[in-house]
Structure 1
Amino acid sequence: MTPKELRDFCLSFNAAEEDFPFSPEISVFKVRGKMFALSWIEARPLKVNLKCDPEDAVRLRSEHPELIIPGYHMNKRHWNTVTLDGGLPDRLVRELIEDSYDLVVAGLPRAERLRLDRP
């Protein structure tokens, strides 16, 4: 996945926004003000921090130890850092991003979820 593909995919979700609260180089993708992905878009290799169910996080790290690690500068129970250097199938990467978005949306108040058409 290229930086442009990552940005485009993250912004394809309902109400997704890109913000730069930490520095101009670090893209933070949010839904209703809550972060679901964080990436230094220009870094090589490209990496992205994604929210993850704690049990899935441990499983993914054991299945892909070189490419999925505990979230860098994040709560390591709930976040993974995923390396996007072509070592993981694009389908899996897209699923991980969508899962992160869905986890954040699930934590929003019901009225917000309904506005996003994702009960």
Structure 2
Amino acid sequence: MQYSGLHNYCKSKKGCQHEFKTEWGVDRYMLSGKMFAMIGGDKAGKPIITLKGSPMENLALRENFSDIIPGYYMNKEHWNSIYLEGHVPDDLIKKMIDASYHLVFSGLSKKLQKEIETSS
């Protein structure tokens, strides 16, 4: 999947806040200050997206796709990184973005959830 498509897809999520973290060279996508996606590169500069997921689903994805690895510089149980030049289908990446967003959203207070849902 192309970077611009990922960027636009992440930014389209309701309540998404985007920042470029210069010192890390990554784009971060957050919901109420909690990150749900990060696009950057590994130590060799290969482009990756890092997403939150449930531990069981994360393991299953890693077993089925060699281009999905434990979260790069993240908690290896709760985060996966996907090589963007690899062989992970675009629709699966979008589903993983959706799941990551919903995990973060569901961890917010009901008040914050309602504010995000009713924002335009």
> Which portions of structure 1, spanning 4 or more consecutive aligned residues, are displaced by more than 3 angstroms?
none
The residue aligned with 1:88 is 88
Matched ranges for 1:96-111 at <5 A? 96-111=96-111
For 1:88 and 1:61, locate their aligned partners in 2 and report how far apart those are by CA, in whole Å.
Answer: 11
Q: Which amino acid aligns with 2:75?
A: N
The residue aligned with 1:56 is 57
Q: Which amino acid aligns with 1:47?
A: I
CA apart distance, 1:114:
1.4
CA apart distance, 1:117:
2.1
Q: Which amino acid aligns with 1:33?
A: G
Instruction: Indicate the larger mover: 18-27 or 99-108.
Output: 18-27
Deviations 1:25-79 (A, max 9, x none): 21111011110011117x8642111000111001101011x21110011001100
Asked whether the 8 Å contact 2:67–2:86 carries over to 1, the reply is no
The residue aligned with 1:117 is 117
The residue aligned with 1:6 is 6
The residue aligned with 1:74 is 74
CA apart distance, 1:88:
1.4
CA apart distance, 1:24:
6.5
The residue aligned with 1:47 is 48
The secondary structure found in structure 2 opposite 1:48 is strand
Superposition TM-score, scaled by structure 1 size? 0.88
Consecutive unaligned residues of structure 1, counting only runs of 5 or more, are none
Q: Percent same amino acid among aligned pairs?
A: 34
Number of residues of Structure 1 aligned to a counterpart in Structure 2: 116
